[in-house]
């Protein structure tokens, strides 16, 4: 990675045995809460010896990728695509795209029926992850702890639907009273590389000390979008078909219609929204999904982005932490001074003439 103190380790996905460490250029990496992180970069191939090493180590679908900064793990995931490129002068390179460890759970399907009755939602998550890792060839070393959320669920997941495990986790997390989940990468006190499932109810939180970011100051630039295209103050969700008589016309289960009368009385136009849960057959479960979706849709989505120089306080461990942002400019003549949770982090390592920066994605309370 040029002048950066980064190293890319390539390992066997199942055993985590180190295969090689190769230089990578043009690297960008990101990680999020609620979204699978990614890594992109280019491995230069200057000679035949290096080509042989790259062929052995860069195997899409089988190679684990760890990014180290000094002794710390800053990112981990799976190599999914490799594009070999040769330019007009014959210079060869391998362009790689990787997804975080969670991407594996979207490549695994539930092929057995699973029933949970009054089970803590975190235990359902762990049962699904165990299902993945207990199948032959399915153990990629994801670990977890045993804490609970205190929210009990009834769930029936049918093998006939062939859902992916990742989609089941997302659906379970998105219901009213749900949670957040991600798979974090780090090195433990014994020096081992760890892939840990993190669960947070209602959200994942990290860090104890508050970081203050000022603009002008450490904040180099910011973007503050406000998006009302997904706003909805009237909502209804649709579930599975509830007609057991095949001779009759089939109709889906429908949630109660939810309307924010206060929003409309305040002057907002009525804006309709809906969601589909084609495998949900219980009215209470569908209604809980509808309430959660309606709550999320009632206010325009704001995900501010701030770009900062990377420093000792700005690391991937910041995901879930709270920062205090202070902005004073033409739009904010009275200084904006508020606290936000970091829900995403995109890092651009330094290369020739380019500093090492991080873009933080913030959740507006």
Whether residues 34 and 148 fall in one domain: no
Q: 134 and 65 in one domain?
A: no
Residue 2 pLDDT level (bands cut at 50, 70, 90): very low
Q: How far is CA 236 from the centre of its chain?
A: 26
Residue 206 lies in a domain: no
- Rounded distance between C-alpha atoms, residue 5 and residue 318, angstroms: 19
Answer with the one of 78, 104, 130 that is the final residue of a domain: 104
Same domain, 142 and 120: yes
Q: Label residue 1 by pLDDT band (50, 70, 90).
A: very low
| CATH code, domain carrying 306 | 2.40.450
Please tell me whether residues 18 and 141 are part of one structural domain. no
Q: Is residue 317 part of a domain?
A: yes
Are residues 244 and 349 located together in one domain of the fold?
no
Q: Are residues 70 and 167 in the same domain?
A: no
Can you tell me whether residue 300 is helix, strand or coil?
coil
Same domain assignment for residues 325 and 218: yes
Residues 22 and 80 in one domain: yes
- Residue 1 located in a structural domain: no
- What is the predicted pLDDT for the residue at 245? 64
**Which tokens sit at 202?**
């209602």
Q: Provide mean pLDDT across the span 55-69.
A: 97
DSSP 351: B
Query: Checking DSSP bridges between strand 336-348 and strand 25-32, what pairing results, if any?
Result: antiparallel
> Is 216 within 8 Å of 297 (Cβ atoms)?
no
d(CA 103, CA 233): 33
- When divided into structural domains, the chain yields a total of 4
pLDDT at 353: 72
Quick one: 136 and 152 in the same domain? yes
- Final residue before a domain boundary, out of 55, 82, 104: 104
Q: How far apart are CA 138 and CA 104, in angstroms?
A: 9
**pLDDT over 70 for what percent of the chain?**
96
Same domain, 355 and 263: no
Per-residue pLDDT for 244 more than 80?
no
Pair (46, 139) in one structural domain? no
pLDDT(13) > 60:
yes
**Structural domain includes residue 112:** yes
Highest mean pLDDT among 26-30, 87-91, 266-270: 266-270
Q: Does position 5 have pLDDT exceeding 70, yes or no? A: no
| Greater pLDDT, 136 or 161 | 136
Helix (H/G/I), strand (E/B), else coil: 219:
strand
Q: Which residues contact 133 (CB under 8 A, 6 or more apart)?
A: 139, 140, 142
- pLDDT per residue as tens digits for the range 214-242: 999 989 999 999 889 989 999 999 998 87
In this structure, is residue 307 part of a structural domain? Answer: yes
Q: Which of 80, 125, 84 is nearest to 100 (CA)?
A: 80
pLDDT band at 50 (very low <50, low <70, confident <90, very high): very high
Question: Residue 171 is part of a domain; what is its CATH number?
Answer: 3.55.50
pLDDT tens for residues 312-358?
788 888 999 999 999 999 999 999 999 999 999 999 877 777 788 99
Q: What is the pTM of this model?
A: 0.90
The token pair at 52 is 């042989």
pLDDT range class, residue 361, cuts 50, 70, 90: very high
Q: Final residue of a domain: which of 41, 70, 104?
A: 104
Average pLDDT for residues 262-269, to the nearest whole number?
Answer: 96
Sign of CA dihedral 202, 204, 207, 212: negative
Strand partners, 89: none
Find out whether 95 and 82 touch, Cβ atoms under 8 Å. yes
Whole-number average pLDDT of the chain: 93
pLDDT band at 157 (very low <50, low <70, confident <90, very high): very high
For 82-132, what is each residue's pLDDT tens digit? 999 998 888 999 999 999 999 999 999 999 999 999 999 999 999 999 999
User: Domain for residue 205, yes or no?
Assistant: no
Residues 130 and 162 both lie in one domain: yes
Query: So what's the pLDDT on residue 247?
Result: 65
Per-residue pLDDT tens over the stretch 201-211:
999 998 767 89
For the chain, the straight-line distance linking the first and the last C-alpha, in angstroms and rounded, comes to 37
Domain that holds residue 282: 234-297
Asked, for residue 340, whether it belongs to a domain, the answer is yes
Dihedral angle, C-alpha 198, 203, 208, 212, nearest 10 °: 120
pLDDT in tens, 159-172: 988 999 999 999 99
Query: How far apart (Å, rounded) are the C-alpha atoms in residues 45 and 84?
Result: 10
pLDDT of 79 strictly over 60:
yes
């Amino acid at each position: 990675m040029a002048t950066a103190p980064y190293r890319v380790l390539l390992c066997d996905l199942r055993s985590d045995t180190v295969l090689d460490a190769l230089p990578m250029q043009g690297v960008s990496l990101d990680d999020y809460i609620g979204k699978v992180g990614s890594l992109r970069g280019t491995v230069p191939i200057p000679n035949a010896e290096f080509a042989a090493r790259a062929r052995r180590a860069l195997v899409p679908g089988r190679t684990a990728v760890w990014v180290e900064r000094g002794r710390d793990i800053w990112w981990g995931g799976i190599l999914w695509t490799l594009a070999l490129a040769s330019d007009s002068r014959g210079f060869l390179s391998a362009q790689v795209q990787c997804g975080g460890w969670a991407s594996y759970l979207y490549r695994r399907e539930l092929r057995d029926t699973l029933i949970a009755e009054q089970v803590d939602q975190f235990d359902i998550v762990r049962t699904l992850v165990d299902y993945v890792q207990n199948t032959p060839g399915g153990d990629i070393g994801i670990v977890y702890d045993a804490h609970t959320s205190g929210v009990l669920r009834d769930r029936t997941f049918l093998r006939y639907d062939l859902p992916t495990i990742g989609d089941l986790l997302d659906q379970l997390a998105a219901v009213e009273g749900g949670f957040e989940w991600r798979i974090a990468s780090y090195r433990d006190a014994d020096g081992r590389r760890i892939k840990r499932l993190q669960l947070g109810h209602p959200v994942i939180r990290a860090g104890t000390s508050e970081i203050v970011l000022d603009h002008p100051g450490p904040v180099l630039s910011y973007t503050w979008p406000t998006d009302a295209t997904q706003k909805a103050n009237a909502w209804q969700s649709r579930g599975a078909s509830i007609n057991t008589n095949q001779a009759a016309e089939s109709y889906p289960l429908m949630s109660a219609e939810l309307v924010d009368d206060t929003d409309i009385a305040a002057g907002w136009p009525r804006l309709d929204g809906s969601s589909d849960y084609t495998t949900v057959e219980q009215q209470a479960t569908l209604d809980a999904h509808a309430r959660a979706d309606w709550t999320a849709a009632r206010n325009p989505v704001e995900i501010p982005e701030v770009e900062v120089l990377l420093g000792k306080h700005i690391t991937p461990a910041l995901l879930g932490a709270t920062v205090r942002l202070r902005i004073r400019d033409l739009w904010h003549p009275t200084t904006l001074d508020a606290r936000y949770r970091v829900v995403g982090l995109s890092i651009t390592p330094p290369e020739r003439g380019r500093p090492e920066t991080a873009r933080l994605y913030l959740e507006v309370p």
